[in-house]
Amino acid sequence: MSKKVALVTGGGSGIGRAAAQALAKEGYDVGILGHSPDELRDAVSEIEAAGGTAIPLDADIASEPQMKAAVGFLLDRFARLDVVVANAGINGVWAPIDDLTLDEWNRTITVNLAGTFLTLRSTVPHLKRSGGGSIIVVSSINGTRTFTTPGATAYTATKAAQVAMVQQLALELARHHIRINAVCPGEIETNIDENTDLRAESETAIPVIWPEGQVPITGGKPGTSKDVAEVIAFLASEKSRHITGSPIWVDGGQGLLR
């Protein structure tokens, strides 16, 4: 029997890179998809240095032709697909609703939501052919548990929609033995802030201060990409065989505090 195969989008850095490493450690062959060639090469090299197998897939998740080509390349190499981690996304522009432009709104919706749609649309047929599998969508506590991030209307809308997609598709895909769940991280040490444009924060911020930090379980410190990756690996595995359609918050209690 062939080794199981996983696809991780946004796998060049942060949560995606940690997820790719965690899945490789569990014995998966991994396709690491992103659009930064240097990051992809580094991520693949790390997995290979640890004895795993990975390939880089350079593609924009919001481009249907590029996603089709990338998934096709993955299937040509490994001949099957068992796990999909739909992780790629941006924070986009966070601004007051009357300052946020339609172009800014559309970019966040396109990358985060249309990108998730295209990831699933291009991979689900191959999961069906493999006889089933697991999909993990990386959402957020924003839009699912908390709503206090200044000006993040477009971002929270995409994250809430991702969870709705997960719950809708859990029933649709169950007959094909495909499970689909969402992980919803809180504050995590990643470089996604590089994709954030925050404007007029004073007009949208909620004036609350937590003197000891906003992540109770760690004494205020952010979580790590590994914290999320290990949950992703669990949801990919047979250990989670009876879990589908569920959002799982990986936030150290942050969402309850906020």
70: domain CATH number is: 3.40.50.720
Enzyme catalytic residues: 155
Contact yes or no for 186/137 (Cβ under 8 A)? no
Alpha-carbon span 40 to 5, nearest angstrom: 17
Q: Give the predicted TM-score (pTM) of the model.
A: 0.93
Which has the closest alpha carbon to 17: 158, 141, 252, 36? 36
pLDDT classification of 124: cutoffs 50, 70, 90: very high
What's the domain count of the chain? 1
Domain that holds residue 197: 5-257
Alpha-carbon span 134 to 80, nearest angstrom: 13
pLDDT classification of 200: cutoffs 50, 70, 90: low
Flag whether pLDDT at 193 surpasses 70: no
Compare 198 and 164 and report the one with higher pLDDT.
164
Contact yes or no for 88/9 (Cβ under 8 A)? yes
Q: What angle do CA 59, 65, 66 make, to 5 degrees?
A: 10
Alpha helices in the chain (DSSP H): 14-25, 37-49, 64-78, 102-108, 115-129, 153-174, 201-204, 225-236, 254-257
Residue 2, pLDDT score? 64
